[in-house]
Chains A and B, each alone.
Chain A
Amino acid sequence: MTTTTRLSPMEMDAIATRHPELLKSSTSNRVRTAAIAGGVIVYLVFSWWFFSIGQVLGNANWGIAGTYLADWVSYEVRPQIHIASDRTMSLNYQRNSPLGPNPKPDWVELDKETMTRRVEIPASTTQVAKPKASSSFSFMAPGSALGRGSTAEAQNRVETRTEEVLTRVVVTYDRSTKIEIADGLVKATHGGETLTMAVDGTDTVTPQGALPSWATQKRPGEKIVLAFGATGWAEVEGDEVSVRNRFFGWANFLFDTNSPFFGRSYGEVASLITSGERIDPARPNLSLAWNNILYNAEWQHLDVWTKLLQTIVIAFVGTLFASLIAFPLCFLAARNITPNFMANQLAKRFFDFLRSVDMFIWALFFTRAFGPGPLAGISAIFFTDTGTLGKLYSEALENIDDKQREGVKSVGAAPLAVQRFGVLPQVLPVFASQALYFWESNTRSATIIGAVGAGGIGLKLWEAMRTNSDWENVAYMVLLILLVVFIFDSISNACRSRLMGRKAH
């Protein structure tokens, strides 16, 4: 130990100055990093142009995006208040209102009055010197007898009626937001500010005073849009105030508005089921309630669950069959098990073929062959994953330890026994683990190929999205899918770690 490899700092510096090239990375290295980074940036710029991303994003309707997103977890109730030129009002709700027919929500306060008036049916377009005209107060037939300046025929029938009209309507959104309509004035209060608008019962709205930040009017006299944020919005027109009151949650998730259980509290429903009179004499209340839940017109629980089960079945059966078929074939494809070049190549190219004709193409073909439904999905996954699993299995086989196999062979075992005791114990955990992984990942794939007709929840999701009004149903299905994927993910992970763990010791 005469020399030591330890250098003093001074000597280190001396060496560094003598061989400066050692401490500098080579030019090609530095240039390569810069070139790759530059290439990526150029590519991103190119793609920005190729897909005209800036333009598309600029033209997008982002306001609608917020509404759609809000629809996932909330619903709107839309009372519409019609204002006649005599300043009386009528109220109706959207068709299929989540509050059911004849809603009387406590956030809408009504002052009614019975008066005898002359009613013009249908109303003419010319509004000159019209006697006290109004529309009837009706929940059941919204807009049926209103006409309100829409028909050009001037043949007016004037009737004298005694009917109930509204003289004052107060809609309360939340503590700081409300709209009060009375005497041709719409008074909106939000966040401490109050805006008063005069409506003439025909087509002109005039704000009194400056518009606060939450109100917009494009041109004088035109409709005013009041945006109250998450709690809803309203549109004030000359003869109509459209209220959109947004409530958090999913409306009528259990019972739809046609169900006899609609609108009752959980306690009431429970007591009806356990001890109430039979609503439908033919069957007990429990079965009626269950039936009403399953066939809920809005949420279609039974259909959604069936489709979800189809998706699960597609993934399960498809993966199981694929691994069962890939298992014998992979022995043919593995170089070290079958030392026959032709057989190896044939099997491997067969796997490549199955994989490269994509799951999507298989799905389209089998939808033609079997008709839309889970059989097509099963076959598509079966074909694609036979290829994928076959490839992975044969690669696992080619990577095995040869000693075990030679050991079994050397004691004179038959070829089948060599595979059984020399090869299988090494690869079986790997095979099973890969099959489990694909089972879980196919649960997700099955959702997508379902959208092209291969069965399962995909198509239902797609249809719910296409209408742009059923986003809460989309949210429900997404939630179920996420739940199923997470459950299968953890089952598959637990099984896999057990399998691989056993292999470790």
Chain B
Amino acid sequence: MATSLLPRHLSENGAVIERHWQELSSRRRLYSWLGFALLFLTLSGSLWFANDSNAGKFFDRLPHFFDFVGDLAPRDGLEIFRAMFDLPSPYDDGSFKYNYPEGRLYLTDSFYIPEYFHKMLETVNIAIFSTVIGTALGFVLCFLAARNLMPSPWIRGAVRRFMEILRAFPEVVIAGFFLAILSLGPIPAIAAVSIHTIGALGKLFYEVVENADMKPDESLRATGGNWIERVWFGMVPQVLPNFTSYFLLRLEINVRASTIIGAVGGGGIGELLRLSIGQGHQAKTLAIVILLFATIFAVDQFSAWLRRRLVGEQAFQLAQ
């Protein structure tokens, strides 16, 4: 047996090493436990605080947790489709709850777009439009923020700080501010979403640019190309697939964002959903939720498919 050949007692040197190793590992264990204890304390403190400052207490409300499912059950299943396609309801009693045909948008005398489809289109269009604007401006800014193209740390730093502020600035405030000036409508939502998009995409873009291959740039510089030519012919062709992929990723996020912003006053489907939940219109709520779910799912799948075609599997890595 090999083990019998091993010395029973360690030499002095070996004992020192063993002791050091034991010390290190016990210290590491201690730190881990301290970390976990701290996390646990923070978590329980946070939970207590959240429960304490909530309108309803967790354990009081838990039995009523599925009440909202009851609130959502419509009078009959077909109501959902009538609400979705603006068909007249047999339960129509003149109240707001069952007046589905009212929101129809007539394109011709007989052909109409149901209200929720119209509003959903508006929300999606807000998302696309603001993503396009945000991408365009982020595209311009990102080259000024990339270390390999902008040697001056002042301009680079200023552009980066600027984008950070655009990114972190609460969207609600931008929407609310434009709401105060422009009155109700989709433009506050567009402003809020695109301003955030500039910051978010600008950051992702300049990280792509910094990781780009500098050889085309070098050769352009050697042939005397100016800055714009270097960017346009040396950088843009290699970063474009990644930029497009991020554009699509952002589009997914912005469809959600424009829904939320809509709910706080930006128009579109979000506002209708908030109102309909608040007023307890079950069929309308369910119709909107289904529509929203289908749209978000479709946009996600489409964008995932397109991104996979553009840049392959790496498109699925976390953005940022």
Q: Mark B155-183, 1 if CB is under 8 A from A, else 0.
A: 00000000011001111110011011111
Separation of A452 and B185 alpha carbons in the complex (Å): 18
Most buried by B among A56, A361, A468: A361
Separation of A82 and B256 alpha carbons in the complex (Å): 54
Please give, as numbers and ranges, the residues of chain A lying within 8 Å of B185 by CB-CB distance: 51, 56
Q: Contact between B53 and A373 (Cβ–Cβ < 8 Å)?
A: yes
How near does chain B come to A455, taking the closest CB pair, in angstroms?
7
Asked if A199 lies at the interface with its beta carbon under 8 angstroms from chain B, I say no
Please give, as numbers and ranges, the residues of chain B lying within 8 Å of A317 by CB-CB distance: 43, 46-47, 50
Q: Contact between A365 and B170 (Cβ–Cβ < 8 Å)?
A: no
In chain B, positions 239-270 with a C-beta closer than 8 Å to chain A are 256-257, 259-261, 263-264, 270
Closest residue to B68 on the A side, CB-wise?
A: A368
Asked if A272 lies at the interface with its beta carbon under 8 angstroms from chain B, I say no
Of the candidates B56, B68, B132, B277, the one whose C-beta lies within 8 Å of that of A44 is B132
Asked if B96 lies at the interface with its beta carbon under 8 angstroms from chain A, I say no
In chain A, positions 463-505 with a C-beta closer than 8 Å to chain B are 465-466, 468, 474, 478, 481-482, 485-486, 489
Q: A356-B293, A448-B170 are in contact. Are A373 and B182 (CB under 8 A)?
A: no
Please give, as numbers and ranges, the residues of chain A lying within 8 Å of B43 by CB-CB distance: 316-317, 320
Please give, as numbers and ranges, the residues of chain B lying within 8 Å of A61 by CB-CB distance: 181
Q: Contact between A373 and B277 (Cβ–Cβ < 8 Å)?
A: no
Asked if A314 lies at the interface with its beta carbon under 8 angstroms from chain B, I say yes
Q: Contact between B168 and A486 (Cβ–Cβ < 8 Å)?
A: yes
Q: Contact between B274 and A306 (Cβ–Cβ < 8 Å)?
A: no
Please give, as numbers and ranges, the residues of chain A lying within 8 Å of B54 by CB-CB distance: 370-376, 455
Separation of A462 and B318 alpha carbons in the complex (Å): 31
How near does chain B come to A304, taking the closest CB pair, in angstroms?
13
Q: Contact between B170 and A481 (Cβ–Cβ < 8 Å)?
A: yes
Of the candidate stretches A62-70, A105-113, A291-299, the one touching chain B is: A62-70
Q: Contact between B264 and A452 (Cβ–Cβ < 8 Å)?
A: yes
Separation of A361 and B86 alpha carbons in the complex (Å): 22
Q: Contact between B55 and A373 (Cβ–Cβ < 8 Å)?
A: yes
Do most interface residues of chain B lie in helix, strand or loop, or is the interface mixed?
Answer: helix
Asked if A225 lies at the interface with its beta carbon under 8 angstroms from chain B, I say no
Q: Contact between B61 and A370 (Cβ–Cβ < 8 Å)?
A: yes
Q: Contact between B49 and A360 (Cβ–Cβ < 8 Å)?
A: no
In chain A, positions 419-478 with a C-beta closer than 8 Å to chain B are 434, 437, 444, 447-449, 451-452, 455, 458, 461-462, 465-466, 468, 474, 478
Closest residue to B264 on the A side, CB-wise?
A: A451
Most buried by A among B50, B53, B164, B277: B50
Q: Contact between B180 and A451 (Cβ–Cβ < 8 Å)?
A: no
Closest residue to B54 on the A side, CB-wise?
A: A373
Q: A64-B180, A313-B46 are in contact. Are A370 and B264 (CB under 8 A)?
A: no
A-B contact count (CB 8 A): 186
Separation of A357 and B256 alpha carbons in the complex (Å): 10
Q: Contact between B256 and A364 (Cβ–Cβ < 8 Å)?
A: no
Q: A368-B68, A369-B64, A478-B169 are in contact. Are A468 and B180 (CB under 8 A)?
A: yes
Q: A314-B50, A316-B46 are in contact. Are A369 and B58 (CB under 8 A)?
A: no
Separation of A203 and B168 alpha carbons in the complex (Å): 50
Q: A447-B172, A462-B172 are in contact. Are A370 and B55 (CB under 8 A)?
A: yes
How near does chain B come to A354, taking the closest CB pair, in angstroms?
11
In chain B, positions 21-74 with a C-beta closer than 8 Å to chain A are 42-43, 46-47, 49-51, 53-56, 58, 61, 64-68, 71
Separation of A64 and B182 alpha carbons in the complex (Å): 10
Q: State how many residues of chain B have any CB contact under 8 Å with chain A.
A: 66
Separation of A310 and B49 alpha carbons in the complex (Å): 8
Closest residue to B299 on the A side, CB-wise?
A: A356
How near does chain A come to B186, taking the closest CB pair, in angstroms?
5
Please give, as numbers and ranges, the residues of chain A lying within 8 Å of B260 by CB-CB distance: 358-360, 448-449, 452
Please give, as numbers and ranges, the residues of chain B lying within 8 Å of A371 by CB-CB distance: 54-56, 61
Please give, as numbers and ranges, the residues of chain B lying within 8 Å of A56 by CB-CB distance: 182-183, 185, 187
Closest residue to B296 on the A side, CB-wise?
A: A356
Closest residue to A467 on the B side, CB-wise?
A: B180
Asked if A355 lies at the interface with its beta carbon under 8 angstroms from chain B, I say yes
Do most interface residues of chain A lie in helix, strand or loop, or is the interface mixed?
Answer: helix
How near does chain B come to A505, taking the closest CB pair, in angstroms?
18
Asked if A406 lies at the interface with its beta carbon under 8 angstroms from chain B, I say no
Separation of A215 and B297 alpha carbons in the complex (Å): 57
Q: Contact between A359 and B297 (Cβ–Cβ < 8 Å)?
A: no
Asked if A248 lies at the interface with its beta carbon under 8 angstroms from chain B, I say no
Separation of A352 and B293 alpha carbons in the complex (Å): 10
Please give, as numbers and ranges, the residues of chain B lying within 8 Å of A485 by CB-CB distance: 168
Asked if A47 lies at the interface with its beta carbon under 8 angstroms from chain B, I say yes
Please give, as numbers and ranges, the residues of chain B lying within 8 Å of A451 by CB-CB distance: 172, 263-264
Asked if A15 lies at the interface with its beta carbon under 8 angstroms from chain B, I say no
Most buried by B among A375, A447, A455, A466: A375
Asked if B190 lies at the interface with its beta carbon under 8 angstroms from chain A, I say yes
Please give, as numbers and ranges, the residues of chain A lying within 8 Å of B289 by CB-CB distance: 357, 361
Separation of A399 and B173 alpha carbons in the complex (Å): 40
Asked if A195 lies at the interface with its beta carbon under 8 angstroms from chain B, I say no
Please give, as numbers and ranges, the residues of chain B lying within 8 Å of A43 by CB-CB distance: 128-129, 132
Q: Contact between A361 and B55 (Cβ–Cβ < 8 Å)?
A: no
Please give, as numbers and ranges, the residues of chain A lying within 8 Å of B318 by CB-CB distance: 392, 434, 437
Subset of 22 A-B contacts with CB under 8 Å? A57-B187, A64-B180, A313-B50, A317-B47, A352-B300, A359-B260, A360-B263, A369-B64, A369-B68, A372-B55, A375-B56, A437-B318, A447-B170, A451-B172, A455-B50, A455-B53, A458-B170, A465-B173, A465-B180, A474-B176, A478-B170, A482-B165
Known: A361-B289, A372-B55. 11 other contacts (CB 8 A): A47-B128, A51-B185, A57-B187, A356-B300, A368-B67, A371-B55, A371-B61, A376-B54, A452-B274, A461-B176, A474-B173
Binding site for A on B (CB under 8 A): 42-43, 46-47, 49-51, 53-56, 58, 61, 64-68, 71, 122, 125-126, 128-129, 132, 164-165, 168-173, 176-177, 179-183, 185-187, 190, 256-257, 259-261, 263-264, 270, 273-274, 277, 289, 292-293, 296-297, 300, 313, 316-318, 320
Q: Rank and list the top 4 A-B pairs by shortest CB-CB distance, nearest first.
A: A373-B54, A371-B55, A371-B56, A465-B176
